[in-house]
Amino acid sequence: MQYLFPDNSVIVCFARADELGVLEQYLRGKGRVVEAVSREISDSAGHVSALGQMDQQVWFGDPIPIVGAVNVRAVEGVRVAVFGGGKAKPREHLGESQTLHLLRTDVDYQDSIWLTEDREAFRFAQRQHVTTRDTFGILCEMVGYLDLSTERAFEVAQHILDAGEPMLREPASPRDFLV
For residues 60 and 76, give the distance between their C-alpha atoms in angstroms, rounded to a whole number: 24
For residues 77 and 164, give the distance between their C-alpha atoms in angstroms, rounded to a whole number: 33
Which is nearer to another protein, 19 or 134 (by Cβ)? 134
Which is nearer to another protein, 71 or 150 (by Cβ)? 71
Q: Report the interface residues with another protein, using CB under 8 A.
A: 35-36, 39, 42, 65-78, 80-84, 86-91, 94, 98, 101, 104-105, 119-121, 123-124, 127-128
Write down the least CB distance from residue 172 to another protein, Å.
Answer: 18
Which is nearer to another protein, 14 or 124 (by Cβ)? 124
For residues 129 and 11, give the distance between their C-alpha atoms in angstroms, rounded to a whole number: 23
Which is nearer to another protein, 29 or 84 (by Cβ)? 84
Write down the least CB distance from residue 175 to another protein, Å.
Answer: 24
- Torsion sign (Cα): 39, 45, 50, 55: positive
For residues 135 and 131, give the distance between their C-alpha atoms in angstroms, rounded to a whole number: 14
